[in-house]
Each structure stands twice: as C-alpha cells, then as structure tokens.
Structure 1
Amino acid sequence: MKRTLIITLEFPPIVGGIATYVDQVASSLSPERVVVLAPKHNNAKDFDKKKLYKVIRKNLYFPPFLWPRWIRLFFQVWRIVKKEHIEVIHVHHILPVGYIAWIIKKLLHIPYIIFSHGTDIAAAGAKKRKRFLALTVSLQAESIIVNSKNLSLRLLTVLPHLSKKVRVVYPCPDKDFFTPPPKEEIERLRHVYALEGKKVILSASRLDYGKGYSHLVRSMAEIVQDVPHVVWFIIGDGPKKKEVFASIIQHNLQNNVRFVGEVPHNEVKKFYYLADLFVLLTHPYRGKEEGLGLVFLEAAATGLPVIAGKSGGVEEAVIDQKTGMVIDVYQQHDQIKKSIISLLADPDAAQTLGAAGKRRMAEEFQWEKQIARISDLL
C-alpha cells in the first residue's frame, strides 16, 4: 500500500456521519502507511492516542480577513507530503480541499483520490465558477469515491464527464455494534431513564434541516394517544435544537421525550439496544439530500427495525418492507403514525425486519468488502 495522506475537514471527536466515515476508511487501511490531517479540536487528544495511524491536527484555514483562506492548508499539505514521503492523497470533499490536491499534483506529481459526501456536490452545482473548479479538480483525480449509488447519480448530473471515475464505497457500522452491551448496563439505563413498561423510539442525528424532527413531533402527538407508554429518545445537537424543543412543549410531549444531547460515537451503541424502533424521517431540503445515513446502518447492525424518510441514498441503507420502512414524509405523512404504531404493536414483525437488517449488514456492509472495491487505487 502507498504512503497515504488523508485530508478532512470533519473528523472525530466531531460527531457526524462524515467524521465517522473518514475514521473508518483510515482504520481499514494499513495504519503504518496512513497519515490523517484534520482540524484542531479541544477534545482530540484522547481520541488520537487510541488510533494506530498518525493524526496531525492543525488550524486548516487563515482567519476570514485573510484571503484566500485555504493557502494555509496548502502549505501544511506541502510540508506533510515532503516529510512523510506521501505517495497518494485522499481528499474528503471536492472543494476546497480537492483544489489543493490538484495544485500539489501539478507541482509534485502526487496522485489524489476524492471522497465526496454530497454537500460538496450541491455547492459545486450552485455557481458556474465552482462547477468549473470542481470539474477541473475531478478530471485530474485518480477516482471519485461516493457513499451511495444515489450520490453517484447526483454527482454525474452536475459533472457528467466523470462517469468512468466514480466508484461507490458504502460506509459500514463498526463491528462492535453487532454485539449487545451487558444486560446490566441496559437495565441500568432503563432505570435511569424510567423506562419500565415503556416502548422506546430512538432518533439519532444532527438536529438540522432535512432530518424530519418537526414531522415526527407532529406524529408523536397523535401516537401517544394510542400508545401512551411510548418514549422518544433524541440523540444529537444542532441548529434546530431550540425549534424542536419548542415544538415538543407546544405538543405537550415533555413526559414522552428523553433528550440525551450529543453522544460520542463510541458510546451511542447502548442506546440502540435500549430501543424498540429507530425512526429518522429524512427528507430533501433546498436541493440537499441524505448521502446514505450511517445511523440507519448502525441501527440495522443492532437488529433494530428502521423507519426512514425517503431522501437521497436512504433506500440503499433501508430496504422498504424487508429491513424496515421507507416513507416519503411529504406524500405519505399519514403513514408515519401508522407504521410506528404497527411495529410497536407487533414485536414479531419488528423482530423480522430487524433480523433481516442485521443479516444484511453482516453480509454486505463490512469494511473488508467495501475497501476491496478500490484496492487497485491504494
């Protein structure tokens, strides 16, 4: 394997699907051949110590009053490439990091691979200048890796010249998710959160646009009329937190909601095993769609049935009527309540969906299989 530099703007302990995906890709490679360049973070020291690969933390951009801000990152990459004898660069996001890799290739003849996560595709398609830069950068890449077939189609809609370069590498749940935590830990949590005799719904994501929390709040207000012993766990934080809280209070759901907040990725597993059902009503928002949804894969790995909102690559993560249910939250809003109540009322049906999802994760969503798709590039 070549000496590899991975450049990312999102990396643990930041919580999120992209950060986790980058860490998982790095962890699946030969650690002695990998260097990760990531943003500084106050709580990064303990995380970085546990990694077998090398992590370099830097302030990647100049302050806003200095332009172009990415010049600082360019010089950091230049020094690392020289010092670490880098042979290939992995960049996460086409712009702006890909532009730096393009310059490095021109100057030092170091090839690069682009990992695109979806948000950069929307940005690239927004303006002609960015579309031109994205195309220039992408055409010189060895390959462009996306996390779903749907994202591949969206990328080719914006940049159709790239059809021969695009490959799909799905994210995968950590192997640890397949094994339940000790029963004593789950029982302790049930006691702490007063869950005796309760049915538990779990949602885990950034509280942001396109995650469907307002839709689920409205549905929960109706669901508690039929299932008064239901409890909804929310794990995450984000810009819509206050709005979600206000809506919960408006619908008198305080006694049915447990807001946990942001949870480190290595601690979130126990909440999946605490739940009876995972629900996240993702939906398109202003041209942005879900890339795939790592949380859907994690829920499946723990054996949870999933109810997901139709958006982007979600239907590749959740197979409708086989490993869960996929609902168009705009066109099928009435189905949200019906689907949740039906699975809470029918544990056998829920268990069948959950078992099928877990089996699919074990058979298809393993890093050994996914990385093999790009082994010729490594």
Structure 2
Amino acid sequence: MSDIFDELQWRGLVAQTTDGAALREALADGPITMYVGFDPSADSLHIGNLVQLIVARKLQRAGHRVLCLVGGSTGLIGDPKPDSERVLRSKDEVAGAVDRIRQQVASLLDFEGDNPATMVNNLDWTAPISALDFLRDYGKHFRVNAMIKKEAVARRLNSDQGISYTEFSYQILQGLDFLHLYRAEGCTLQLGGSDQWGNLLAGVDLIRSAESTAVHAMTTPLITDANGRKYGKSEGNALWLNPDRMSPYAFYQFWINLDDADVIDKMRVFTDLDRAAIDDYARQVADEPFRRAAQRALAAEITTLVHGAAATTAVQAASEALFGKGDVSALDARTLRDATAELSGGEVAVGTSVVDALIAVGIADSRNAARRLIGEGGVSVNNVKVADEGAELDADAFLHGQIALLKRGRKHLAAARLVR
C-alpha cells in the first residue's frame, strides 16, 4: 500500500489533490474508503470515466475500499455546462442510463472477493430529503459568493442566458454525496476528473463545515491527444465504452492508429504494464516505429479491459483478415459489419462482374482500368486473387449475405455491399 500514490503519479494519473503529502500518508497508513461517481448524462461511460475507474481499480488492488456511485439524483439535475442550460431528462431515461452504467462498471471493478467494491446510488439518500431539510441542513453550509466563483457558474452568470437555480444547486447535491458517504461509510477520499475539481471541493468544504474534519479530493487529468485536444462528448469525439456506441473494432483501431508521440503516455495510464516493460516499448517506438509494437500492445490491453478477451481476439482476427492474409469468411457477422463500417464502397447485385464492382466501389475509374488491374494480378475478392477478367460476384461472395471485400494490392480495400 505504501507506494500506490507514487505509482499513480508516475503513471500520470494524478492531476490535483487537496493535500498530496497528507493523501500519500493516508494511503500508506490505510486502508481508506474512497468513492468515484458517474452521472448518467449519457447511456454509456467514455474514456475519461475509464481513467477514474482505472485509478479506483488500482486503489482497490492496493487494499483500499472502493465505492462506485451512480448519480440517480444528480443525473436528474445535471452538472452546469459552461455555455448553455442542460435539457432535463425524464426520470425513466435517467433510471435506464443508471442501469446501463452499473453494468459497465461491474466489469471493471471487483464486486466480489475479499475486498469487494460497493455500488451506491445517490437517489437513495437524496430522494427522502424535503426541500426545507435540504436548505436547513445542507444549504446553510454553502456561501453564495464562493459558489459563483466556480468556473462553469461564473461563465454562465456572465452570459445572456444566465443559470437556473436548478443547475446552480448541483454543487450542493454533489457535496451532500460526500458528506453522506463520510457519515455512512467512513469515506475520506473523492475521485473525479479535473473538470470536476470545484464540485469535489464543495464536498470537502461541506464536511469541514458540518463535521469539523479534513478529507481528501483527487482528480485525474483530462485525456487529450499529442496536440492537447480533449477526447469527450463536448468535443464530439468521445471514445465510448458501450459497444453499441463504439464497436470493439473501432475502439481497437483507435489505439492501433495512435501517434508515436502519444502512445507511451497512454500506455502508462491505461495498462498495468510495469516500468521495465513500458521502457522497452519506448525503445521500440524510438528504434522501430514502423512495427507499431507499442500501439498493438496498448490496443490489446485496453480493448481486453473494456470489452473482454474474446472481443480482442475477434477484432485482431478482423484486422489481420482485412489488411493481411487472414480468412475473412471466418469473421462473425457483427465483427464483419463493424470492421467494414468505415470502408469506402458501393452497392452491387449478385451476378455483377468484378470489373463493374471495382468501378462501383471506387477502386477503378473505368472498365479498362479494372481489367488492367485484374490482368496485373492486383485484385482480390475476399482475399482470393481474381485471375479471370470475366469473373462475377455470385451469392457466396457476399459474406453473411452482406458484403464482398474487394482489394487492390495490399492496402486499397473497399466494400461491395449487396443491394437490397
């Protein structure tokens, strides 16, 4: 337990703390109880949430107790956005999203064993509180002059739209969560993303005021690319953990295509690989970048963490089949659909000649060009070379009755989709 805080810092998982030295000491003297919370603002967690779950996972493995909070009540209100009022979701929508988030978290933390994590829902303790009790017992500890200094609140107050009291009260609700878990569970550490720092401090200050004691808050850094661009819902490029939002294949390919300048830092964050292994991958990036060994290792590790080993095996087989010499006919229908979703292509019918199909999917711009490519031995259908310029696509060419893969050379791949 003594070195867990140092490991988190080395991995780049610590952005802010209320008191780093005191937190290091508390973790070393532990075990402590900590919590991390997720509001159901969408029906899936994303890569930023995964960072917090990875920290919670490491703390749990180091012997600390983890509470995972789903925001059944805070999700009904919504953390203030800096630019506009949130559209309130219905109670049924929020409840459904809560259930889906519970399912995602269940695969990332250990809820059994000798030190099980505990799932909690803040609706359980906030729903029974009356408006008068809320104002008397909790609101009295908050000072408006401090609340309006929170960045998102300040920006909204200075806008034409302003901010509703509903969203303004969000920080009280989140502070109430920490106070409740402190009293009920002995929780002394709240973890969140660095954009939640103000809300975390609200809980720390509330406990100090109500209980005359000090507790800890820690944030993880926002996940950005090598150029500092954030991945997230607000940027329109969120990396979702729900396979219905982002397929395991697309998820895997994102990490495979990671920039060399970015891969080692992400390897520290998202894997359990030790320093020696990561240092070796750093050497390979420097000496043999064309092998992309670090990207392949990272993609396998994080895809397995999020989607499981079977999904990783399937997407690796799909990558090999599409861009190597694997058997594309062995791919299941879901993996085939996911793997070809971003490919260029066109609709063709059974009986279409390969020449016309090459034109339809954009590989060739004329029949003469298509025939020349076939004559040169540069065309394959489903990884089988085409030698006959008069060849046609029969029904069996469309894998799972959906797609025939046309390839020119090794890299130029397109999807001939069966017309309906």
Q: Taking structure 1 as the reference length, what is the TM-score of the superposition?
A: 0.35
Q: Which has the higher Rg, Structure 1 or Structure 2?
A: 2
Q: Taking structure 2 as the reference length, what is the TM-score of the superposition?
A: 0.32
